[in-house]
Chains A and B, each alone.
Chain A
């Protein structure tokens, strides 16, 4: 068992060389991109054309197919960043920090997309662009946590210090994730309660659940596509900076 873990660690160590990372990113990118395109096409067709309108909300229910996956991804990416930060703090490998930095703006984008689409959905359904109920407030706080994370990452002359400090902040900020998830159960909110991930199975018709899951797949694949692209360019940029520093050093000598 110990040997297997050691072998696994050695394997990961070998894969974590910069050149190998750039190579791996390039290899996975086309698949992630293709998956995103296929899922997005299938998801959009089934969500916007094939799925039925809601008996109460009519056609505007279709905003759900963007809003809900965006919300899930906003939460998922934050947890992903916190996990990468934890790995980076414990293991000390710079690759984890590269990966966290590559994921952060994409996650903030998903969170913003959730808030904007929710606002567009709230206007016809609730009669207001924004209400200060528990779910909306906690989601807005998630966006602010992303802002704090981004500001802290960029606040230091030494980028490694920014990465480590932001990792600590991301781990502490995780306390907000369960609050967002359960806010609709703990408080009486205008926002509707959970209908997919709940005890006793989903309370949503398969004709709407399937397009929703397709869109979730599309968003997830889109995230990994963007993440791989950003991770690759982040690693390449770091190598270029290192090479430039070496060249300057050589010229000075």
Chain B
């Protein structure tokens, strides 16, 4: 447990002292959301109609954006091999890395997303559902992303490859996340969509650490 927390703390410190990481992700998210009214026109009804989907899709891309560096620096300077040969199981290492990624980029997104919703005239009654759906969905994105980042370690064109691999796997998160917000907006029950989202997150939690650990072992072989 100490080793687990040490890895989380180390990654958070790196993200904090790097300074730019979290802010770049948030900046990308806000700017990408703000591009839509410029492209679609400022009509409030139209923007409210697409708000849930746009905010969710941009959150997905923003989470993806920060993933290619998850294991890369450690792999390049050799510290990944040290971490893998230490007392921490590779599966737990993946979990710690994914947790740190979520704390550094997923959690800030949840805080900023209701503001992004305001930009798109998202009805106020849907804002809590948006926050809850992101709270359930972004951990799944971090876990899937950790798997993608581990698989793409040392690959050519790693960032584009990561998107091609992770986006199809992340589509269910997007569908049920945006769907729950949509239901709340129309005054329908958002519960079922949120429950499925939670189920997907739990499944990612069960599968991704093992698959990503296998990929990490291959990368340092």
Contact = CB atoms under 8 A, between A and B. Distances in A.
Given A144-B168, A148-B165, A169 B151 contact: yes
Given A161-B218, A168-B214, A168-B215, A141 B168 contact: yes
B151 A152 contact: yes
B203 interface: yes
A161 B207 CA distance: 21
A28 interface: no
A165 B167 contact: no
Which label, helix, strand, loop or mixed, suits the secondary structure of the B interface? helix
Interface residues of A, number: 24
Contacts of B15: none
A151 interface: yes
Contact of B211 (A137, A141, A148, A168): A168
B171 interface: yes
Contacts of A147: 164
A149 to B, nearest CB: 8
A129 interface: no
Interface string A131-151: 000000100010011011001
B171 A165 contact: no
A182 interface: no
A179 B158 CA distance: 28
Interface string A159-173: 001101100110111
Interface in A99-147: 137, 141, 144-145, 147
Nearest to B163: A148
The 3 closest A-B pairs by CB, nearest first: A155-B155, A144-B168, A148-B165
A175 interface: yes
Contacts of B147: 168, 172
30 contacts: A89-B214, A137-B171, A137-B175, A141-B168, A141-B171, A145-B168, A145-B169, A147-B164, A151-B165, A152-B155, A152-B161, A155-B156, A156-B155, A157-B156, A161-B154, A161-B218, A161-B219, A162-B155, A165-B151, A165-B152, A165-B218, A168-B211, A168-B218, A169-B151, A169-B165, A172-B147, A172-B211, A173-B168, A175-B207, A179-B172
A172 B218 contact: no
Interface in A51-92: 89
A148 B147 CA distance: 13
A165 B150 CA distance: 9
B157 interface: yes
